Amino acid sequence: MENHPILAREGWLHIAIVIIAAVLVHYFGGWLWALPLWVATVFVIQFFRDPPRTAASGAGVLVAPADGKVIAVGEAHDPYLKRQATRISIFMNVFNVHSNRSPIEGKVMEAWYQPGAFVNAALDKASEQNERNALWLKTDAGEDIVVVQVAGLIARRILCYVAPGQQLGRGERYGFIRFGSRVDLYLPLGSNVAVSLGDKVQSATDIVATLKR
């Protein structure tokens, strides 16, 4: 299990700002004027919560890279490795934990950042039009996995902390997206998908697929 703050470091400044604003307005203007800011404080704190997770284990197992709802499952073109692949897309609303975790252990072969639009991340076109950051992972068995952070309607910051050449463990935290977004997984065709449309998944702990052996 990881040892890291329960509240994501990416949110410390935001949390401090909204708490200070609420305290000042409460002190000088009273609780009624400060009430919207206290509500905002609760929202910001819950958004940046980041509980530790223990990754599911098993040969060839891929875990969810994000908390959220499965909104796409099926064959699709992988625009990064130029292949047909099995795609699994997970939509994160503003009430989900927004840290991102590696779906499987592997070496980061390449990373691609693409600026773009900020349409609703639940729409399929978001995978091609929105701001996004993709990682190509190669497992010890030589399988190629692509995991893509996609910005959403109000998401304005994709954070990724790894670079080509680094090794990631299954379920290891590698990035964060602020305020509503999605993550796409591109897997080799023939992978055994373990989720269906509409399923709610939790990063690291829930299995979304198993690589074909």
Q: Which residues are catalytic?
A: 181
| Whole-number Å distance between alpha carbons of 146 and 106 | 11
Q: Residue 156 has which token pair?
A: 């304005």
**Contact yes or no for 90/183 (Cβ under 8 A):** yes
| Whole-number Å distance between alpha carbons of 138 and 209 | 16
Which stretches does DSSP call E strand in 12-67? 61-63
| Whole-number Å distance between alpha carbons of 102 and 203 | 9
| Whole-number Å distance between alpha carbons of 102 and 13 | 25
| CA R_g for the chain | 18
